[in-house]
């Protein structure tokens, strides 16, 4: 699908972009992938990895800057919107900045994509957008709603928008696995709550979900990949069986369990072998056969959260994953 096409990845120097770019170059050989981000040093470091590959371009810019997005999207076929203010405490203490990036930035991406004739846009979301309790989650819920509804503005044959939603990315910067690895020699792990559970997804799986969304979307869908869960205590034991686990309490804005599909979404949610699809409640899109395809309607009251998940990752599996990915953990 991406062959001989032009792609923009907003926030492309982040964890997702660092995996999406090489994998997409290898699998699809697009004409050009443009990394759009505001950190010149990250772009400088990332550019070194591609040795002047003419298919990889770098574009300094911020999604808050509408005019810059218009310049970046000229002649572009596909956009992956990965730029966001993501750290929960940062958003709580800097709410205006979080809104400017996650909500105003989403609106700018939508306007630029429609006006520049982009074919399809996939926006990355988060489990925190489902029944949000913190500002980050609330802004991403607003962003999801914007991208879903914007299919009304794209026209019958215009720009199409969809969303992918997934939880904790294994080994990404600032996440729990590299944090525990960095302090394991101290012999003590801070555990917020012994009951806490988290979804576990690799960046490779996240990239494949985005590819699938681009290929499958009619517009307005929210894709949720089926992934395993794990207890935070088992994550800690996978990294060090001997470290003492000290209960420190849940932090402000933190959930005991991650949720990706809430009960309110159940009436519009369909199940597939490897994912779920939340269809839009507006414009009768949730009854669209083109969007439903071969999906099976989930039962009333259905939720998909890390504690009621039928699939669980065993400690041995995480230990093996860490051994295979040791050099990348915490670097992207």
Range of the domain at 159: 6-166+202-226+259-304
Instruction: Note whether residue 84 is domain-resident.
Output: yes
Instruction: Note whether residue 247 is domain-resident.
Output: no
**Is the pLDDT assigned to residue 233 strictly greater than 70?**
yes
Task: Give the CATH number of the domain where residue 83 resides.
Answer: 3.40.50.720
Instruction: Note whether residue 158 is domain-resident.
Output: yes
- Backbone φ and ψ of 34, nearest 5°: -105, 120
Reported residue count of the chain is 332
- The upper half-sphere exposure of residue 131, i.e. CA atoms within 13 Å in the direction of its Cβ, equals 16
Instruction: Note whether residue 81 is domain-resident.
Output: yes
Closest CA to 229 of 164, 318, 165: 318
- Backbone φ and ψ of 196, nearest 5°: -65, 140
d(CA 243, CA 183): 10
d(CA 215, CA 213): 5
**Is the pLDDT assigned to residue 156 strictly greater than 70?**
no
What percentage of the chain exceeds 90 in pLDDT?
86
d(CA 298, CA 325): 35
For 281-290, the CB contacts below 8 A with 24+ separation are 282/148, 282/149, 282/152, 282/220, 283/152, 285/151, 285/219, 285/220, 288/218, 290/218
| Residue 223 pLDDT | 98
| Residue 327 pLDDT | 81
Q: Are 171 and 329 in contact (CB under 8 A)?
A: yes
DSSP string, 206-248: HHHHHHHHHHH-SSS-EEEE---EEEHHHHHHHH-SSSEEEE-
**Is the pLDDT assigned to residue 155 strictly greater than 70?**
no
Closest CA to 112 of 58, 42, 62: 62
What is the average pLDDT across 112-137? 96
277 is known as an active-site residue: no
Furthest CA-CA distance within the chain: 60
Closest CA to 89 of 249, 252, 203: 252
Instruction: Note whether residue 54 is domain-resident.
Output: yes
Instruction: Note whether residue 149 is domain-resident.
Output: yes
Instruction: Note whether residue 282 is domain-resident.
Output: yes
pLDDT band at 15 (very low <50, low <70, confident <90, very high): confident
What is the average pLDDT across 141-169? 90
| Residue 332 pLDDT | 66
Instruction: Note whether residue 89 is domain-resident.
Output: yes
- Indicate the number of domains in the chain: 1
pTM over 0.75: yes
Q: Which of 23, 27, 31, 128 is catalytic?
A: 128
């Amino acid at each position: 699908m991406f062959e001989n096409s032009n792609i923009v990845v907003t926030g492309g120097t982040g964890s997702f972009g660092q995996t999406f770019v090489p994998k997409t170059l290898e699998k699809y050989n697009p004409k050009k992938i443009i990394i759009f981000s505001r950190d010149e040093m990250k772009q400088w470091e990332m550019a070194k990895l591609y040795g002047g590959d003419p298919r990889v371009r770098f574009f300094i810019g911020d999604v808050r800057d509408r005019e810059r997005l218009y310049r970046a999207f000229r002649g572009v076929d596909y956009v992956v919107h990965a730029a966001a203010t993501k750290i929960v405490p940062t958003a709580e203490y800097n709410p205006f900045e979080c809104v400017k990036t996650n909500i105003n930035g989403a609106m700018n991406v939508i306007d630029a994509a429609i006006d520049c004739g982009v074919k399809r846009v996939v926006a990355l979301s988060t489990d925190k957008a489902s029944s949000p309790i913190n500002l980050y989650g609330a802004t991403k819920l607003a962003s999801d709603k914007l991208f879903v509804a914007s299919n009304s503005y794209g026209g019958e044959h215009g720009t199409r928008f969809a969303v992918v939603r997934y939880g904790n990315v294994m080994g990404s910067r600032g996440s729990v696995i590299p944090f525990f690895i960095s302090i394991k020699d101290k012999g003590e792990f801070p555990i917020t709550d012994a009951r806490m559970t988290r979804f576990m997804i690799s960046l490779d799986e996240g990239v494949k979900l985005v590819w699938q969304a681009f290929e499958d979307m009619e517009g307005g869908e929210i894709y949720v990949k089926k992934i395993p869960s794990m207890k935070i205590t088992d994550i800690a034991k996978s990294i060090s069986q001997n470290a003492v686990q000290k209960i420190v309490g849940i932090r402000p804005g933190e959930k005991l369990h991650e949720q990706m599909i809430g009960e309110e979404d159940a009436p519009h949610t369909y199940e597939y072998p490897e994912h779920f699809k939340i269809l839009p409640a507006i414009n009768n899109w949730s009854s669209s056969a083109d969007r439903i395809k071969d999906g099976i309607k989930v039962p009333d009251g259905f939720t998909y959260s890390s504690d009621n998940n039928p699939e669980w990752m065993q400690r041995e599996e995480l230990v093996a994953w860490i051994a295979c990915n040791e050099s990348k953990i915490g670097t992207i």
